[in-house]
Amino acid sequence: PGAIICPNVQIGKNCSIGANVVISFSIIGDNVQISSGSVIGDSGFGFEKTKSGVVQIPHVGLVEVGNYVSIGSNCAIDRGSLGDTKIGANVMIDNLCHIAHNVSIGEGSVVAGQCGISGSVEVGKDVLMGGQVGIAPHLVIGDGAVLTAKSGVTKDVAPGIQVAGFPAVRAREFWRIKAKQRRQ
């Protein structure tokens, strides 16, 4: 009930669209679940400062969602500005996540609740993100990386590396610093 599927949206087979979902400018694969209240394909936050003020940049790309993706309640996945926003197959996105324009998330990645991924971030395959992770724009997160809960990622993360803290550093270093602080 209350879901809106805009013109020219493609939705594959065996999909489940929850109440009050809005989908525009999107290509949705097969066996996708989109939970209540999510907005897929709306314009992202793009602007340019000019002498006469701030001007919004139109977004003309799409959102491409692969097969067997699960998108939780009240998520926002923005359409691309010039290119597309891409969610790979078998990705799981928890509730209350924001995925900005031109982001790509590789197959098998998991994004826990309240994560925010800024524009043009490339997330590799099989990446695990804990709750409330924030990622700065234009970064690359390597395949198999682990971003622990509440990490503030401000630099690229190499494949297979686990990071923690703000600004995010290798998890082992983060926990060593925390242990030293507790002893003081």
pTM reported for the whole predicted model: 0.94
Catalytic residue among 59, 98, 101, 138: 101
**pLDDT tens digit sequence for 54-109:** 998 889 999 999 999 999 999 999 999 989 999 999 999 999 999 999 999 999 99
Which of 99 and 180 is assigned the larger pLDDT?
Answer: 99
Average pLDDT over residues 5-16: 97
Confidence of residue 181 (pLDDT cuts 50, 70, 90): confident
Q: How far apart are the first and last CA of the chain?
A: 57
User: Is the predicted pLDDT of residue 20 greater than 90, yes or no?
Assistant: yes
Annotate 119-183 with DSSP letters as a single string: TT-EE-TT-EE-TT-EE-TT-EE-TT-EE-TT-EE-S-B-TT-EEETTTTEEHHHHHHHHHHHHH
Q: Which long-range contacts (CB under 8 A, 24 or more apart) does 90-96 make?
A: 90/66, 91/66, 93/69, 94/131, 95/35, 96/72
User: Is the predicted pLDDT of residue 22 greater than 90, yes or no?
Assistant: yes
What's the confidence (pLDDT) of residue 121?
A: 98
Distance CA 103, CA 173 (A): 28
**pLDDT tens digit sequence for 102-161:** 999 999 999 999 999 999 999 999 999 999 999 999 999 999 999 999 999 999 999 999
Q: Are 38 and 72 in contact (CB under 8 A)?
A: yes
Say whether 59 is catalytic.
no
